[in-house]
Amino acid sequence: MNKEYGQSPDELFDVVDEHDNVLHPLSRGEIHKRHLRHRAVHIFWLNQAGELCLQRRSYAKDNSPGHLSTSCAGHVDSGEKYIQAAVREFREELGITIGSQDLMELDYAPCHENLGNEFVVSYLLRGDFTAQIFRPEVDSLVWRTPQQVIHWTQQEPELFATPFLHLLSRDKILKSLRDKV
């Protein structure tokens, strides 16, 4: 990752086939330019009060700048496992070190154009932590109950990143967020 800008077109991700099998590594720039299938993670972070953390993406991002999204999201680097990417992204974007045991897998979403041609594993994290956001990636954090977030997405969907809206419409994620409140 480029520490100044938070993303680099030269980062290496794995191109995957329609079954999420790794084919070969390729640069972020080429993968996005050619709309190739690759992998990503999303974390839904609930604090002890049952509020969901939403991330307002940096206005410098190449995808959905300034839009609200999951608490943390990112690509899976070449050779990395989904869970490793989730732990790494949470530390890089929010300055919080967690372990894989702190994350509960919520959902595995198949590759879809609304997900940026990504296979996505979503995780749930519970707990109270103090975030130190990495400005090149994250503009700000907003806390709302899952019910408030769902209502907000229905009223003003244009404020939210398309992948977030896609994931929030998935039954496993909706049920998990409602059950965890």
How does pLDDT run across 35-83, given as a tens digit for each residue? 999 999 999 999 999 999 999 999 988 788 999 999 999 999 999 999 9
Look at the pTM and tell me if it is higher than 0.85: yes
Q: Are 149 and 155 in contact (CB under 8 A)?
A: no
In terms of CATH, what superfamily is 12-179? Nucleoside Triphosphate Pyrophosphohydrolase (3.90.79.10)
Distances in whole angstroms, Cα of residue 92 to Cα of each of 4, 35, 69, 142, 156? 12, 25, 16, 18, 29
First and final C-alpha spacing in the chain: 34
User: What backbone torsions phi and psi does residue 148 show, to the nearest 5 degrees?
Assistant: -65, -40
**Helices and strands: H and E segment counts in the chain:** 5, 9
Residue 134 in this model has a pLDDT that exceeds 60:
yes
pLDDT at 69: 97
